Amino acid sequence: MSEVEEKKALVRRFLEARVVGDVEAVGKMLAPDFVNHTKVLPDEGPGREGFMRAVARYNAAFSTSSVLVEDQVASGEKVVIRCVVRRTHDRGKVMGVAPSGRELTYMLVVIHRIEGGKIAEQWGGGTGLSELRGLGLEQAERERVEQELLVARRIQQATLPKEVPQLEGWQIFPLYQPAREVGGDFYDFHLLSEGRLGLAVGDATGKGVPAALVMTTTCGMLQLAAQALDSSSPGEVLARVNEALLVRIPPNMFVTCFYAILDPERGSLSYANAGHDLPYLRRHCGKCEELRARGMLLGIMPGMVYEQKEMVLDAGEAALLYSDGLVEAHDPEGEMFGFPRLQELLAEYGDEERSLEKAHLGELYSFVGEGWEQEDDITLLTLRRSATTS
């Protein structure tokens, strides 16, 4: 092998050892007075020892590393090498960038001066630090988005009721489980005059932050309408909210909402529906009835009228209000949880003095199996009249 080829071979071995983090091999190929003119890390120490420590620290952040030499040129004491380096960043921080599991691919062009069969000097560099800086910017942006989502979730959670109203002779069990950090489902309670209680369950179209913003706006409109009207007409409440939302949400979005007013003394429940999934009433005999009332989605058209109906819950009977996230969940074969299964569960557990939402959620998890990724927000609200009334 000629002297030129020996120098090229030395540089190839040196670069391979450096890229895979073989510090011992790197040290054997460095001259005692080695000088690195382009630092591996910004805080790299001087001389041979500083370079070796930097190589060890840098490579500790990567589980796998490889190098592909594309070209080499030698002239006198110097050898120029161009190569492609691939590393998987998954073990530690580098330049403040947390491990991401991503593979970094970058170009490296380095000049080495050979003296006495050792690497005496090194110049040059590559796009590796730029790749890391770009990854760091991505992480910073992701962290910013995550922080904003956290704030949005706190705002949304503050919108939902902090306490469940306590009514003598009645039990109310809510459950809210968003599919993402924030969602479009909501439920709410409105304390009205003469001991009456307004109950709302709804769903803003879409997911994520846009749906959460519309959901928050709708909750506010419902509160204002319920307080301003203080009537026994849920249809009037929905009509007023519809007009308010028309100018406050984007034209491509809408809200479904079931709104009811409970008179706990009489046991009556008057209700209206703005395109929401039909709630179920579980009677003594185990029969389930749909609470039907016609009405257009909120925020679609002005001047809407919402049909209003009324029914009475006898002792031991229960009503279930819910969103479509439960019935539209799919198992691994693509079958939907569906309305018939929901009705069967309500009939089976309706007589038990406990919250129906836990039974439904347990059945859902059994249905979808392990590894299920929730597709949509899930909201359940059970209203039950005690089996014995005073």
What are the DSSP E strand ranges found in the chain?
30-36, 62-75, 78-89, 102-115, 118-126, 170-177, 185-191, 197-204, 255-263, 268-274, 280-282, 288-290, 308-312, 318-322, 378-385
**Closest by Cα among 237, 246, 239, 183 to 379:** 183
Domain ranges of the chain: 3-147, 161-385
Topology match between the domains 3-147 and 161-385: no
Looking at domain 3-147, does it have CATH number 3.10.450.50?
A: yes
Q: Which fold has domain 161-385?
A: Phosphatase 2c; domain 1 (3.60.40)
pLDDT tens track for 54-70: 899 988 988 889 999 99
pLDDT tens track for 265-310: 999 999 999 999 999 998 877 788 999 999 999 999 999 999 999 9
Whole-number percent of the chain with pLDDT over 90: 44
